[in-house]
Amino acid sequence: MQKLAELNDLIDKSIALNITYNLSVENYRYNNEWVTDLQPNYFSKQIKKIEKLLDKNINYDENNHVKFLKLIYQDVIEAYKELTKFNYEDYSSLDYSMHKWDAEIVFPKVAPLKDALILELPNPENQFGDRAEYILEIIKGFFDIDFDESLNQEKLNELLAKSYNIEESEFNTIYAKAHLSYVITLHHQLIKEIIYKLDSLLSVIQKLEDFSDDNKTDLDEIINNPNGIKLEFAMTKKDIAIFFHSLHELKIIKTDTDNIHNSQTKLKAFIDNSNIYYKNNKNLTRVGNIKKQFTDLNNKDINGDEVEFLENLIDKFESRLEEVKARES
């Protein structure tokens, strides 16, 4: 029983979303960790710990263990459902006063190591990640600012001050909220990873014992992905962005909004939450955080990549057209 308790505790902590706002430093804590200090590997380590405990502590020949697995699966599904109700890409939705988030007015005993306004360049500590780019794109999304690759932090701050009447004293709060939004995005991905892992295990159990439970809610029902089918694209992640961006620009596909910026945001969210996979160093990797690839499409320096992809795609469609015509003749 201790083994199950250990696994239960780890999963409960992983799916929890406890946010605290400290007014004295104008920064947020996520599950007691400052959002400005958290790195993506925090979340990858969590899923590895869970996978290790699942492999080590679950005995699939014991009915109680299997029942526990089904119950914990439902807990994680409920956490995912609640998170989907929260628009963490919306600036006003991140106001602590709108939620049951704790607020502190005293200076913290352990202050954040990193300032929200100081965006780090890729380095070994952050696994050479592009967090700075994500933070800037999140802030642009907050204010419905059109995508512009040349809009660096300095220019963005100038635009916010001149066009949106943002005082310099407000910048720290804006950037702190962007870091919070970024971390919640990673939290969202973590919960999905847990669900996919549990779903995979339960699928095996179902085959072994002809498991049938009408009350079982699948992740597929939530994200509208029938039967959990993986859709594998013989493309790079960049090509997938170009592909969907082109369909969107041609109005072949559209989201449920007429606002161009919101429509692009929803399209990216759809792709991030889909079951789309691509080849990454010979391994199949699920698409996620595709925001950067969409942003790159506005960079004139890489227009050649888009042209090359579209020309190759046109060639394939022309070949396909010839095949279809040949069948009709």
pLDDT in tens, 230-250: 788 888 888 898 899 888 888
Phi, psi of 21 (to 5 degrees): -110, 130
Which band of pLDDT confidence, cut at 50, 70 and 90, is reported for residue 16? Answer: very high
Lookup: tokens for 115: 């300032």
Number of residues that make up the chain: 329
The confidence score (pLDDT) of residue 213 equals 55
| Six-digit token string for 175 | 């950037």
Domain borders along the chain are 1-229, 230-329
CB contact set of 100 (below 8 Å; sequence gap of 6+): none
The token pair at 2 is 């201790």
Question: Which pair of structure tokens corresponds to residue 108?
Answer: 């913290």
Residue 211 has pLDDT above 60, yes or no: no
Model-wide pTM > 0.85: no
Taking the C-alpha atoms of residue 258 and residue 264, their distance in angstroms, rounded to an integer, is: 10
Query: What is the per-residue pLDDT for 225?
Result: 47
Taking a C-beta distance cutoff of 8 angstroms, is the pair 136, 85 a contact?
Answer: no
Question: Taking phi first (over 0 means left), then psi (-120 to 50 degrees means alpha), and beta for anything else, what does residue 105 get?
Answer: alpha
Residue 307 exposed, middle or buried by CB count within 10 Å (0-12, 13-18, 19+): exposed
Confidence of residue 223 (pLDDT cuts 50, 70, 90): low
- Rounded to the nearest integer, the mean pLDDT of the chain is 84
Specify the residue for token string 């969202």. Answer: 188
Q: Tens digit of pLDDT for each residue in 144-173? A: 887 676 788 999 999 999 999 999 999 999
The predicted structure's pLDDT at residue 263: 73
Relative to beta strand 276-280, strand 231-233 is parallel
